[in-house]
Amino acid sequence: MSTAVTENENQDVQQESSSEAIPTYDVTLKVRRYDPEFSEDAHWDEWQLTMYGTDRVLDALHKVKWELDGSLSFRRSCAHGVCGSDAMRINGRNRLACKTLLKDLDLDKPIMVEPIKGLPCEKDLIVDMEPFFQSYREIMPFLVNDDHEPTYERYQSQEDRERFDDTTKCILCAACTSSCPIFWTDGQYFGPAAIVNAHRFIFDSRDQAGDMRLEILNDKEGVWRCRTTFNCTEACPRGIQVTKAIAEVKKAVFASAL
Partner 1 sequence: MSTPLKTKIQVPRSRDLEVNGVKYNRSGASRSNFEMLAWLFMRLSGIVLVVLVFGHLFVNLMVGEGVHAIDFGFVGGKWANPFWQVWDLVMLWLAMLHGTNGVRTIIDDYAERNVTRFWLKVLLFLASGFVILLGTLVIFTFDPCPAGADPELLASFCHTV
Partner 2 sequence: MQVHKYDVVIVGAGGAGMRAAIESGQRARTAVLTKLYPTRSHTGAAQGGMCAALANVEEDNWEWHTFDTVKGGDYLVDQDAAEVMAKEAIDAVLDLEKMGLPFNRTPEGKIDQRRFGGHTRDHGKNPVRRACYAADRTGHMILQTLYQNCIKHNVEFYNEYYVLDLIMVDTPEGRRPAGVVSHDLATGELHVFQAKSVIFASGGAGKVFKTTSNAHTLTGDGMAIAFRAGLPLEDMEFVQFHPTGLAGLGILVSEAARGEGGILRNSDGERFMERYAPTIKDLAPRDIVARSMANEVREGRGCGPHKDYVLLDLTHLEPAHIDAKLPDITEFARTYLGVEPYTEPVPVFPTAHYCMGGIPTDIKGEVFQDSETTIPGLYAAGEVACVSVHGSNRLGTNSLLDINVFGKRAGIYAAEYARDAEFLPIPDNAAERTEALLDNARSGHGSEKVGAIRKDLQDTMDLNMQVFRTAETIEQCLADIAALEERYANISIQDQGKRFNLDLLEAVELGFLLQLAKVMSVAALHREESRGGHFREDFPDRDDEKFMLHSMVYEDPSSPTAGIRQETKPVIFTRYEPMERKY
Asked if residue 224 binds partner 1 (CB under 8 A), the reply is yes
Bridge partners (DSSP) listed for residue 93: 90
Asked if residue 95 binds partner 1 (CB under 8 A), the reply is no
What Cα–Cα distance (Å) separates residue 224 from each residue in 150, 163, 191?
38, 23, 11
Bridge partners (DSSP) listed for residue 171: none
Asked if residue 142 binds partner 1 (CB under 8 A), the reply is no
Determine which residue in the list 81, 118, 192, 210 makes contact with partner 1, applying CB under 8 A: 118
Show contacts with partner 1 in window 29-68 (CB under 8 A).
Answer: 32, 34, 36, 42, 44
Q: From 65-73, 101-109, 133-141, 236-244, give the range in contact with partner 1 by CB under 8 A.
A: 133-141
Determine which residue in the list 131, 192, 210, 237 makes contact with partner 1, applying CB under 8 A: 131
Q: How far is the CB of 168 from partner 1 (least distance, A)?
A: 22
Contacts of 112 (CB under 8 A, 6+ apart): 30, 32, 89, 90, 91, 92
Element (H, E) at 111: strand 111-114
Q: From 49-57, 65-73, 196-204, 220-228, give the range in contact with partner 1 by CB under 8 A.
A: 220-228
Q: From 49-57, 60-68, 99-107, 130-138, give the range in contact with partner 1 by CB under 8 A.
A: 130-138
- Asked if 29 and 58 touch (Cβ cutoff 8 Å), the reply is no
Task: Please tell me the count of residues contacting partner 1 according to CB under 8 A.
Answer: 40
User: What is the rounded CA–CA span in Å between residue 143 and residue 147?
Assistant: 12
